Amino acid sequence: MTRTRTALTSLVLSLATVALVAQAPPPVTPITTANSAGNGPLDRLYFRSIGPATPSGRVDDFAVLESDPTTFYVAMATSGVYKTTNGGTTFTTVFDHESTGSVGAIAIAPTDANLVWVGTGEGNNRQSSSWGEGVFKSTDGGRSWKNMGLRASKQIAKVLVDPVDFNVVYVAALGDLWGAGGERGVYKTSDGGLTWARVLHVDDDTGATELVMDPSNNKTLFAASYQRRRQQWGMNGGGPGSAIWKSTDAGQTWSKLESGVPAGAKGRIGLDIYRRNPNVLYARIEHPTESGVYRSDNAGATWRKMSDTNPRPMYFGVIKIDPQTDSRIYVPGVSLHISDDGGRTFRADGAERIHVDHHALWINPKDPRHLIIGNDGGVSISHDRSANWVWMPNLLGAQAYHVEFDMQTPYHVCAGLQDNNTWCGPTAVRTNSGIINDDWYVISGGDGFQPLMDPTDARIVYAESQDGRMSRTDRLTNERQTVRPEPAEQKPGDTTGLYRFNWDTAMQLSPFDPATIYIGANLVLKSSDRGRSYQPISPDLTTNTDRETLPIMGVAAKDINIAKNDGVTTFGNIVTLEESAARQGVVWVGSDDGIVSVTQDAGKTWTNITAKIAGVPKFTYVADVLPSRAAAGTAYVAFDGHRGGDYNTYLFVTTDYGATWRSLASNLPKGEVARGLAEDRRNPDVLYLGTETGLWVSLNRGGQWTRIKANLPTMPIYEIKQHPRDHDLILATHARGIWILDDVSPIQQWAKSEGADSFVFDTEPATIANVANDQMKGFEGDRLFLGQNPVAGATLAYRLKADAKDVKFVIKDASGTVVRELTGTPSTPLGASDTGDRNKAGLNLLKWDLRVQPLRPLPPAPGAPAPAAGAGGGGGFGGGGGNNGPYVLPGTYKATLNLDGRDVQSIDVSVKGDPLIPITDADRKIWHDTAKDLHDLQGKANEVAEMVQNAFAQVGVLQQQTRGATLSPAVKQQLDAVVKEFEAVRRRLGLGQQGFGGGGGGGNTENVRGRIGQLKGGVMSATTLPTNTQLMQIREVKAQLPGLIDQANAAVAKVPGLVKDLVGAGA
């Protein structure tokens, strides 16, 4: 009995600490933005991805684990690598932070899905194709990567892992699409990538585009070499270097296979070998006159043509044999072409209800009904030999060229996507699930490029597809009118007056008049009536060079007969133009053949200022011309030389209308090819630069640049815009759609913070957004793309010179009353790389959700179950009000940073009401005060609940410790009475029954605390006056709560006496 008496004595001491009126809850931690993966000075900023994933973007290759095909990797043209381990139900990105995001090939060891090889730089030869950084290897399923060399290969078409010895790997390196030399041909490693040997080399213009291995003999390989070149003005898609090769000694020696293969120059060649009989091979061969599908029945010794089928082989190079019957052949192209007679005839209906333009195809060798196809719209899966397909809607790979915004609240954006139309969608939605695919809508078809959005009328959107096909759409009615400018009527055969539009035609709305449109052909055209009519306002602003005079790969244009100029309709056209916002009539123009021009008089006269820019090779593509908003004579220009095999960075500024120029390339590394520029709207010292691999910022007008990695993947950023009202930074990425930085204040004010021990950055006005809990999104499964809403509230960004021990923000209203305290250590980090620390040296970010102080979560008592969600604790189907408090009233608040107990700096925070909610200030105050009153009532009820919960747990201990003991009838009656009294209090407080789960009846009439929570949740859910029913119920719970508190205090007060009686009775 000594142990029991000791335990009961301890219980008396512990119960003495249970106050009959609980203390005020301490400050709780706020919602915060996620931290970042980078370690630069601005890498704690957080960018959010909003989509669209409606078109998933171009897929180049698959690597599938044959023993378990639910595990596979997806290689994307510019979007890195995705991995699934559940057959596509969910995907994770596994190649986000390497030196490139362009992937041309991927392979895994046949029996080890953790051993992954990636060949970077896509091999599909588009004018928009990116380039790579060689070969990467992962030994942990993509969690980490190591570059294994071949950096000068630029584009890699195939990686092949030896099924016998995983250290042996073959790589088909295409080489630079835009230049000669480098690493091209077939390479082999026998030591896991430590060293490489080039085992097949043709010449400096020819690389390798295909590799297949005999499934019965790993010493026998077949390869296809490929000679091709692009330039700014066109393409030469073939040459004598293209051929089929065979090796029977693991690549040591190769022989060219020519019997039956069309002679002369050839283009791209695709190969496949039949699994059941390796003597059977198929090839698709690009040729000026004998292009088509070929078959060999004697291991490549001879070939015979089966069909002319070979759709656009420059862009589509795959051919596949059904692994169980060589009569079924797949030839992906714009459509999926299928033959059931060994390639003699094909039908083009293999994938009619999914996206077109197919580049990758995998067929399950054990079950050829199972196919995975990759195209310009992502990944689809069939389980019935292509009769039906399921598209994977949760894979983000949208390749945006341009982005534009409107002035709605929240604002919408439109983006033109490679081969995927022009899409528009919201940057925030009123459900907490996030932005889904269905929130986006198509505004124009074709390859999407430049959208324009009327800032005065959100209904009007302009969009452009390839080669100047411009339209104006009414978003309300969805009516679409073509507004493409055309030259005056011409005589038959006369081409001298034709407008030459670029694939990506330049367009702009005048910053002074939204009815005025500028569009660039080879000259500038202007409309003053929203596209109904146009007038030329310039002469030809290009070199007007006849590209038929320009050779490619040493071949005269007249002699090019394979894929000639594929994708490049014309040459010598305007690709960037913009009217200065600093002075009306100043228009800057850049062309694809390297000409920069300016007019200062609305087009009456033009000046070619190209010769003033030193060091830029002829015909270098003008990627962007950006007029400064601060000075009409100041403009920035970026040139992109990669189309000529030149990967230097060309970036310049003029302050005198182009009379003189100064380079801004400064510390930008070679290979950071410039794509798009933006000048900060508040601070013209701040410049933003998008390159082929990411985002850079300069705080001194281009004098020096800093990379912002943050949580951004490595990806091309083609255009950067800043919203004029919200000041968000909007990125058009040619990889993962649209990304947004919601508050650029730290960047704008970074220079001011230099040298300070601490600095709080001014913040953007914050708008109250009463976002709904869209529970239905929880019923749609996991195959769902969710773009990110902005984290609600005001950003409190601050910079510390050194680590601080304690960080706190105190927020006061205009009267000086404290409405919120925010600590600097969030309890639940929101990002995988977020440490949760907000007291570190450097930039730190906190979010104030614009609510008053939340309640402290009700902790479970030792040994007792947690309270149910619906019992007033918050959320769920129980309808509890949760711990969050109501929103503050609109107005100006003072946020003060406190470091280690010392106030150091204050800023004003402007809080605005939701502009879409029609409520008067007086009614809003009634709504707020009602919710705040309920919040305070809930706090009191929670304090009592915690007190009772702790005491109730101790009563449970009493019951357990006296079970089996001999108690006098009086003491037993006393114990039973106390337990019964606690049961009654428990039900009224909505606490779980001792020893059991579950709550106390949600918000029923007996559960006073639950009713308070439900009432608070109901009032807070709609910004409007409370209903009469709610007011009646509020009066009821207000009347009930004092009696409940008295009842709880009385029950708790009896416990110490009960314990003493038990000890005295010798229990």
Among candidate residues 6, 29, 33, 205, the one with its CA nearest the CA of residue 746: 33
> Any residues with CB less than 8 A from the CB of 780 and at least 6 apart, and which?
none
Nearest-angstrom CA–CA distance, 894 and 876: 34
What are 470's two structure tokens?
Answer: 């411009």
pLDDT at position 960: 76
What residue type is 285 in one-letter code? I
Phi, psi (rounded to 5 degrees) for 688? -115, 140
What are 579's two structure tokens?
Answer: 């009217």
What residue type is 363 in one-letter code? I
Alpha carbon 218 to its chain's center: 41
CB contact at 8 A, 410 and 427: yes
pLDDT at position 524: 98
pLDDT at position 478: 93
Assign 21 to helix, strand or coil. coil
Nearest-angstrom CA–CA distance, 635 and 657: 7
Residue 399 is classified by DSSP as B
- Report the alpha-carbon angle 884-885-891, nearest 5: 130
Phi, psi (rounded to 5 degrees) for 947? -60, -45
Q: H or E segment at 615? A: none
CB contact at 8 A, 72 and 729: no
CB contact at 8 A, 736 and 396: yes
How many other CB atoms are there within 10 angstroms of residue 407's CB atom?
16
Q: What is the CA radius of gyration of the chain?
A: 34
Burial tier of 86 (Cβ tally within 10 Å: 0-12, 13-18, 19+): exposed
Among candidate residues 931, 947, 946, the one with its CA nearest the CA of residue 1020: 931
Among candidate residues 419, 426, 413, 414, the one with its CA nearest the CA of residue 399: 419
Assign 49 to helix, strand or coil. strand
Give, in order, the Cα–Cα distances in Å from 710 to each of 36, 96, 676, 731. 5, 12, 19, 14
pLDDT at position 949: 87
For the chain, list residues with pLDDT below 70: 1-38, 489-497, 774-778, 825-836, 861-881, 964, 993-1003, 1065-1067
- Report the alpha-carbon angle 575-100-106, nearest 5: 115
- Give the pairing type, strands 587-591 and 255-257: unpaired
pLDDT at position 861: 63
pLDDT at position 961: 75
Tokens 């950084």 belong to residue: 133
What residue type is 921 in one-letter code? D
CB contact at 8 A, 73 and 50: no
What is the dihedral sign for C-alpha 153, 158, 161, 162? negative
pLDDT at position 825: 60
Burial tier of 843 (Cβ tally within 10 Å: 0-12, 13-18, 19+): buried
> Dihedral of the CA atoms 977, 978, 983, 988 (nearest 10)?
110
Phi, psi (rounded to 5 degrees) for 978? -65, -45
pLDDT at position 494: 54
Tokens 């007792």 belong to residue: 864
- The reply to whether CATH 2.130.10.10 applies to domain 400-486+501-751 is yes
Give, in order, the Cα–Cα distances in Å from 140 to each of 61, 143, 554. 20, 6, 45
Nearest-angstrom CA–CA distance, 842 and 148: 34
What residue type is 797 in one-letter code? A
Nearest-angstrom CA–CA distance, 252 and 254: 7
Length of the chain: 1067
What are 575's two structure tokens?
Answer: 């690709």
Nearest-angstrom CA–CA distance, 357 and 83: 22
Nearest-angstrom CA–CA distance, 486 and 479: 21
pTM confidence score: 0.93
CB contact at 8 A, 642 and 131: yes
pLDDT at position 836: 66
pLDDT at position 22: 34
Superfamily of structural domain 98-257: YVTN repeat-like/Quinoprotein amine dehydrogenase (2.130.10.10)
What residue type is 754 in one-letter code? E
Percentage helix, strand, coil for the chain under 3-state DSSP, each rounded to 5: 15, 30, 55
CB contact at 8 A, 386 and 351: yes
Q: H or E segment at 980? A: helix 969-989
CB contact at 8 A, 749 and 761: yes
Phi, psi (rounded to 5 degrees) for 892? -110, 130
Among candidate residues 893, 743, 907, 902, the one with its CA nearest the CA of residue 807: 902
Query: Where does residue 901 fall: left (phi above 0), alpha (psi -120 to 50 degrees), or beta otherwise?
Result: left
Nearest-angstrom CA–CA distance, 424 and 27: 41
